[in-house]
Structure 1
Amino acid sequence: MIFPPTFKQLKYLTALHRTNHFGKAAALCHVTQSTLSAGIQELESLLGAQLVERTKRNVMFTAIGQEVVRRAQKILNDVEDLTSMAAAAKDPLTGIVRLGIIPTIAPFILPRIMPAIRADLPGIELHLREDKSSELCELIRTGDLDLVLYALPYACGEVVEMPLFEDPFVAAYPPGKAPGKTIRRDQISQEKLLLLEEGHCLRDHALAACALMGKSAEAALAGTSLHTIVQMVAAGHGITLLPGMAVEAGLAADAGVEVASFSDATPVRTIGLIWRHTNPRATTFEALGRTIQRVMRPSEAKSDRARGAA
């Protein structure tokens, strides 16, 4: 009689694939390393195939191992979604929601939306994770997050996207250097531009805006965070493009830099939510999205409600 793999075995395997380290995978699964290793060996014996190549320094998955991981992750996600579906059927506006959020949004939006979420959705308990877009996408794929709040578009596989509002960019100058309260796009084409380092989606959106302005990406210097970039601008090392929500939160004023909005076509990034298309808690996530939209852009939320009524 052939027995099917157990959920524990599949969890052990996917955890090893995620961490590429037996000790870290064991810690992630809250078991000893020997327990995790034995579970994976049992899975290999059960399937009659070697899934992992083990050396003293490296963990490498075989071709069949990669395919088993892919299918195992789908099975684990389906089981979790089944459990979530049963809980959501009782009351969709209760329970834990694991929300990922990127660093160029989190500090500027959370103080504004958290009180409204507690008031509108008191049965929801948010567990927050801040990370880069690529990492959050992986956590959505593996089922470690339910929901991600970041800038769209961003390729993240088979997900549902819920655009919420547009966040316009403004130009930030050293003190006394802004040419005026408003500028044209071509006025920054010759400036030294400071952007975030590779890996931040805000950099990609800013570079897309630069292309519209005839600005060369090669001329851009890199910083590790928006706060670092603003301090560099304040010290006279160049200019940058800041998200409107960061300016509204006081980032520019606190650093003493001057900002100018665009008098012609304004570059923007679209802020939205994503979740796995198989996740059955869409009603919960849409309710969260409506609350965020109401707080951040009341006029847009009102227009959406009017269109819905029509």
Structure 2
Amino acid sequence: MRQTIHLPLTRFTNLAALTTALLVWLPQAGLSDEAATREPSEYTQDESVLSVLPVDGINSASPHPENTQATLDEALIFLSPDERRSLIEIGELLQFHPSQMDTHLLPDTPLSASIGKQMGEADLNIGIEMLRFMCNSWFPSAYRNAPINERQLTLYNILRSISTLQGLTYYSASRDEFRTLFEESWAIASLRKSREALPDPIVDDIIPLDTILIHQKDKSFGNNQSKVTYRVVGRDMSIAIENLTPMRYKGLVRVVNSGNMQIRIIVIPVQEGLLVYGAMAAKTLNVKSFLKRAQSSFTNRIIAITQWYLSRINEEFQE
């Protein structure tokens, strides 16, 4: 029987983490430089990475009518009664995976099957997932009173506000202090043009399938570039972040090869409020030697991810 961790909500200042610094606890882990990596020229915004589909092509797959939302019970049908009670009373569930990433806390949505399959096929050997529920009364009245389509577009554009990650702080368990995580964060046109910041890719209409590239400078791992994929089915939406460049601790020791780190956020509006699912996982070496430290590090970061998103909602709907 799996064990689910219940932790109190943690307060994070500024914003929260989405990519490459999730492995501060692995400075001693090294991956062979012989591991294959993709050339930067393979990735540009105006080539095959960018994908846009018509709205009608995906939204019609939702089991719920266009202007309705699932109930909390429908989204949480996979949880036990005790887990549901804990989620509603405490507001969050956490589960750490020390040897193989899994998606035990992934809600039942039209996006779930493909996300679970993709993370499973990646053979990630360590990770954590978190599920948070915020009832409608937690949000500002402007959020609750907004027309559903307008609110949905804002929730989607928050996921696209990449620049808001710049300057974020997170809690470092090893140092017992708050530290800056991302010194730089912006969208880019290609890996070769990572110093040329593009505006946040805010849109006027939801795009069911879209991919962008981002650059981030991490305090521990330096400059990194990632692919960010957005998916929307009905009222549910997700963001998937995958590193396109190797992660090196202090620029020297390779700890994660290209494509071996994933971060996911899934936003599920329900009639009673909002579910936010976050997952962070990687394929790296020497996990067992750092297991206790890794669990603390991953836990802090997944809390930061979801708190970043919820804080941005309050900012956007501030009265």
TM-score by length of 2: 0.23
TM-score (norm 1): 0.23
Per residue, is there more strand in 1 or in 2? 2
Query: Larger Cα Rg: Structure 1 or Structure 2?
Result: 1
Higher-RCO chain (CA-CA 8 Å, sequence separation at least 6): 2
